[in-house]
Structure 1
């Protein structure tokens, strides 16, 4: 019997137009059936968005790359590391969770002011 292990993917992107950098650690979501969690860590002066994706799914690196690149270009995130723990989320859910995570992060920052 072959054991199935998790697949770890790494991506780096530069946004076409940069927004304010992320400056606090943040956690959003829960790993569950068909869902994912996002951990956000600032990376000062990296001038790029890095992603570490841990997923049980193999063979979809090109899909992850397209979804993440689109997110970076649209959101303008940079100087940041996103750790994504995936449990079979669809590309639409991945995109939704990423946008929700930066939205919640922005709201949390405003509460702290």
Structure 2
């Protein structure tokens, strides 16, 4: 298992207080947990992955995610069992969309 950590500053979009969990860790999939956290406007993303050696790809995917959503005071935990970048993007977007939908 490899653990990767990314942090982004100056987010613009606050998320609701309740956490949101989407996905299931199983063969070729991943789960994403999004939580509100006091991070001084930042967004922290921790990835635990069974696929070692893909840090550059993970960085590209989460940087793109951050540019699209610009979350503030958000902690995101990802447990991965070898999902493709497209599945990662889908699950991340699904988590935020579900979280915001439940807040409405």
| Structure 1 residues not aligned, in runs of 5+ | 1-5
Secondary structure of 2:72's match?
coil
The offset of 1:20, in angstroms, is 2.9
The offset of 1:14, in angstroms, is 2.6
Secondary structure of 1:47's match?
coil
> Is 1:22–1:80's contact at 8 Å kept on the other side of the alignment?
no
| 1:73 and 2:71 correspond | no
Q: Could you state the TM-score of these two structures normalised by the residue count of structure 1? A: 0.84
Matched pairs, number: 104
| 1:92 and 2:82 correspond | no
The offset of 1:45, in angstroms, is 4.5
> Is 2:43–2:74's contact at 8 Å kept on the other side of the alignment?
yes
> Is 1:36–1:85's contact at 8 Å kept on the other side of the alignment?
yes
What's the RMSD between the two structures over aligned residues?
Answer: 1.5
Secondary structure of 2:5's match?
strand
Q: Could you say which structure has the greater relative contact order, defined with CA pairs below 8 angstroms and 6 or more residues apart?
A: 2
| Structure 2 residues not aligned, in runs of 5+ | none
Match of 1:14 in 2: 9
Secondary structure of 2:90's match?
helix
Equivalent-residue separation in structure 1 for 2:72 and 2:52 (angstroms): 27
Deviations 1:87-113 (A, max 9, x none): 100111101110001111112222xxx
